[in-house]
Amino acid sequence: MAINNRNLLITGGTGFIGSHLLHKLAEQGHNLTVLSRNPQNRVIPYRPKLPEKVNVVTGDILQPQSLKQALAGQDAVIHLAADYRVGLAPTRQARQHMYQTNVIGTSNLLAAAQDADISKIVYMSSTAALGETQGALLDESHRHNGIFRSYYEETKHIAHELVVKQQCQGAPINIAISGGVFGLGDNSVLAQTVNAFLLGKIPFQIATTSTFQLCHVSHVCDGLITLLSPEIVRQNYILAGETFSMPELFQMLSHFCGRPSLPAKKASSLKIPAWLMDKLASLGLTMPLSCEALHIMDGSSYTYSSYKAQQQLGWSAGYPKEEFIEYVSHLATQLSSAKKDVA
């Protein structure tokens, strides 16, 4: 069968990365099926609309029977579905949902794919699953030291190890390990922070030396598509962009907006407010700060080398800093248009 005419199931296809990935796959002529808990909810603000001829089926990675039906007749699977929330309120319900989605859902999918004799699985992991690097640029072989700064990090680590185990036992899995991803249609903490800054709603920043990596969603999608290749068998590739810190990002935003730099506050001075906000969040209220968010900004680094992907796949992270400013410019235009519509 031609590589550009395969039957593909995508979990998380209506999410941020998935919505961009679908268009690239459709352009290559693949027959696409998207697993969705709510097939009627197909239009998400600022995210690409689903391409024409995409088959959207009702299903849930937590419902094995729906996975069995969705996998029938598929050649390959791209598993993107995940609960990605950082700064999570420490409630049992929130943690249970994240564990169920990121760990149990992944386990269900792998089992169903094995039963359906799927010939290729591409799993979307995260550098968070590999853990902190203490400032070094490490590779795919690095393993977590067991210090988790968020529950997302912990569940992605558990899921990653589960996938690696299946891979080592012969499952046809390729793993894409991305750092932070940005682009239109994102609704992560980073995107919310950028929007809040543009609206003038962030009065200060937290003093931190923590570093992480960012890459535009388009380049990450290119890497995911490459991992569908029949020639790439049971391989893991880091798809990480350029290294940033939050102070650096805020400086870029200040320069873009022509504003003075935000004053910085020590994380230690915010521990009590964060604790109180966690208590309010447990009541269902949305809070701008959490103890988990402070923990993330403790000076740790999550920095990895994409050398293997660059050399073996010809993959490129593009120009993250320039693309981030272009992304911010698009967001600013959208916010300006929204204000005019309200007026």
Share of the chain above pLDDT 70, in %: 96
Q: What is the mean pLDDT of residues 70-99?
A: 93
Confidence of residue 179 (pLDDT cuts 50, 70, 90): very high
Q: Is residue 146 part of a domain?
A: yes
Q: Is residue 292 part of a domain?
A: no
Q: What is the mean pLDDT of residues 284-300?
A: 87
Angle at 283 between CA 278 and CA 289, to 5 degrees: 25
Which residue, 136, 118, 330, 137, is CA-closest to 217? Answer: 330
Among 213-217, 271-275, 276-280, 329-333, the range with the most confident prediction by mean pLDDT is 213-217
Count of domains for the chain: 1
pLDDT value of residue 33 = 98
C-beta separation of 143 from 176 below 8 A:
no
CATH code, domain with 68:
3.40.50.720
Largest Cα separation within the chain, whole Å, is: 61
Confidence of residue 157 (pLDDT cuts 50, 70, 90): very high
Phi first, then psi, for residue 33 (nearest 5°) are -125, 130
Residue 44 has pLDDT above 70, yes or no: no
**Which whole-number Å values give the CA distances from 215 to 221, 242, 243, 334, in the listed order?**
10, 7, 9, 21
Residue 289 has pLDDT above 90, yes or no: no
For residue 173, give its domain range.
Answer: 7-179+216-240+305-318
Phi first, then psi, for residue 32 (nearest 5°) are -110, 135
pLDDT value of residue 43 = 64
Element (H, E) at 195: helix 189-198
C-beta separation of 227 from 163 below 8 A:
no
pLDDT value of residue 1 = 38
Q: Which tens digit of pLDDT belongs to each residue from 99-142?
A: 999 999 999 999 999 999 999 999 999 999 999 999 999 999 99
Among 183-192, 245-254, 270-279, the range with the most confident prediction by mean pLDDT is 245-254
d(CA 299, CA 321): 21
Who wins on pLDDT, 43 or 111? 111
For residue 100, how many other CB atoms are within 10 A of its CB? 15
Distance of CA 312 to the CA centre of its chain: 23
pLDDT value of residue 253 = 98
Q: Which tens digit of pLDDT belongs to each residue from 237-252?
A: 999 999 999 999 999 9
Residue 203 has pLDDT above 60, yes or no: yes
What three-state secondary structure class fits 168?
helix
Tokens at 212, concatenated: 């992480």
Confidence of residue 87 (pLDDT cuts 50, 70, 90): confident
Confidence of residue 194 (pLDDT cuts 50, 70, 90): very high
**Which whole-number Å values give the CA distances from 302 to 76, 111, 126, in the listed order?**
30, 31, 10
Q: What is the mean pLDDT of residues 11-29?
A: 96
Q: Is residue 288 part of a domain?
A: no
Q: Is residue 338 part of a domain?
A: no
Who wins on pLDDT, 108 or 343? 108
pLDDT value of residue 3 = 66
Q: Is residue 277 part of a domain?
A: no
Q: Is residue 209 part of a domain?
A: no
**Which whole-number Å values give the CA distances from 77 to 31, 48, 121, 312, in the listed order?**
12, 21, 5, 22
Give me the helix-helix angle, 105-115 and 64-71, nearest 10°: 40
pLDDT value of residue 342 = 60
Query: pTM of this prediction?
Result: 0.94
For residue 45, how many other CB atoms are within 10 A of its CB? 9
pLDDT value of residue 88 = 78
Q: What is the mean pLDDT of residues 131-160?
A: 97
Q: Is residue 324 part of a domain?
A: no
The three state secondary structure string of 299-342 is: CCECCECCHHHHHHHCCCCCCHHHHHHHHHHHHHHHHHHHHHHH
Q: Is residue 329 part of a domain?
A: no
Residue 202 has pLDDT above 60, yes or no: yes
